[in-house]
Chain A
């Protein structure tokens, strides 16, 4: 189980293997979704083009925006859709849950003193 704070940016690394006899350029689309609704991302998907040599393997990193929560905690799953020339060929669903916890934050202007 992966646990992250909301509003953060995390990195996901995925190893792809190309079983074919020729190099292929893929598009990976990585997003988080509710387990009950895998087709609807809850964050902006991270999209990346990459190539894998014939019968080779390649590690690909995706920058994942952990969504801001409106509840204290949310359990999500990682989804990875792989496309070739814009056509989806497969969608993987992560085996472990991605738990997002609310994390308070604050930003400020500078201090002003009353005379």
Chain B
């Protein structure tokens, strides 16, 4: 499935044939979505029996989602034929410039900051900008959480959920002097599987050992927009990391990230890097 970003201008090519014995000038409209949103238009002529490649400059819709693609061919203002492309197009939210994202190896770590925000006590915060990760290899998500214990993270995320292996990195600041980094692996499998997949030997003694992965929905489609993915963290491990192989395909993005911190009047967080866990 082709994958583009909202508002992105792409070129679509299609070979059209005039089976008739008279030259015809047509108007072609490229349409997307169930509502047949016009994304590109062009006029073209085909002589009798001619086949010709026609190009359309198409502006992707402003709303993320999966769109069926249609081509409407008109003659003298009358629809001659409406074709439906065999492949839908996935449109992801364009947000952070992917160039800002540092690509790391599995064991690597970078510090390119892609998002900063804060959330008040017992409130949910959302990303100032959606995070869009293009089809990168070697991308990891690291969360840096300046503050104390995070309680609930809610994700609206799109990904290959069959290989749902996120790393989360927290950098709580217990006082103003230093940051303490911690990491969590988030696995989109049944809750208990987390415990099976993470090698406890890789974790240092957690300050709060409870880590609960609690998916509400298990999306089966891509992108699973509208499926909140909730991860509850009631503890904060300090240091250490787990090794969970996984391979991501396609674009994945975080549209919103909500945080509810129940044990501090204010929490500050930043997303410092993204990378993919590879086998």
Which residues of A does B touch, CB under 8 Å?
Answer: 6-7, 68-72, 102-114
Once the chains are docked, how many angstroms separate the CA of A6 from the CA of B26? 18
**B42 CB → nearest A CB, Å:** 13
Q: Is B176 part of the contact surface with A, judged by Cβ < 8 Å?
A: no
**B250 CB → nearest A CB, Å:** 14
Q: Give the one of B18, B22, B46, B89 with max A CB within 10 A.
A: B22
Once the chains are docked, how many angstroms separate the CA of A113 from the CA of B69? 11
Identify B17's interface contact among A104, A107, A110, CB under 8 A: A107
The answer to whether A112 touches B14 (Cβ under 8 A) is: yes
The answer to whether B14 touches A102 (Cβ under 8 A) is: no
The answer to whether A110 touches B85 (Cβ under 8 A) is: yes
The answer to whether A7 touches B19 (Cβ under 8 A) is: yes
Binds A, one of B5-13, B163-171, B266-274: B5-13
Instruction: State the main secondary structure of chain A at its contact with B.
Output: loop
Task: List chain A residues, Cβ under 8 A from B73.
Answer: 106, 108
Task: List chain A residues, Cβ under 8 A from B24.
Answer: 104, 106
In the complex, 28 of the A-B residue pairs with CB atoms within 8 angstroms, ordered by the A residue number, are: A7-B19, A7-B20, A68-B20, A68-B21, A69-B22, A70-B21, A70-B22, A70-B48, A104-B18, A104-B20, A104-B26, A104-B75, A105-B19, A105-B80, A106-B19, A106-B24, A106-B46, A107-B19, A108-B15, A108-B81, A109-B15, A110-B86, A112-B13, A112-B14, A113-B11, A113-B89, A114-B12, A114-B13
Identify A106's interface contact among B69, B80, B85, CB under 8 A: B80
Q: Give the one of A72, A102, A106, A107 with max B CB within 10 A.
A: A106
**A109 CB → nearest B CB, Å:** 4
Interfacial residues of chain B within 28-60, with CB under 8 A of chain A in the complex: 46, 48
Identify A108's interface contact among B2, B10, B83, CB under 8 A: B83
Once the chains are docked, how many angstroms separate the CA of A104 from the CA of B21? 10
Once the chains are docked, how many angstroms separate the CA of A64 from the CA of B19? 19
Task: List chain B residues, Cβ under 8 A from A70.
Answer: 21-22, 48
Task: List chain B residues, Cβ under 8 A from A113.
Answer: 2, 4, 10-13, 89
The answer to whether A108 touches B19 (Cβ under 8 A) is: no
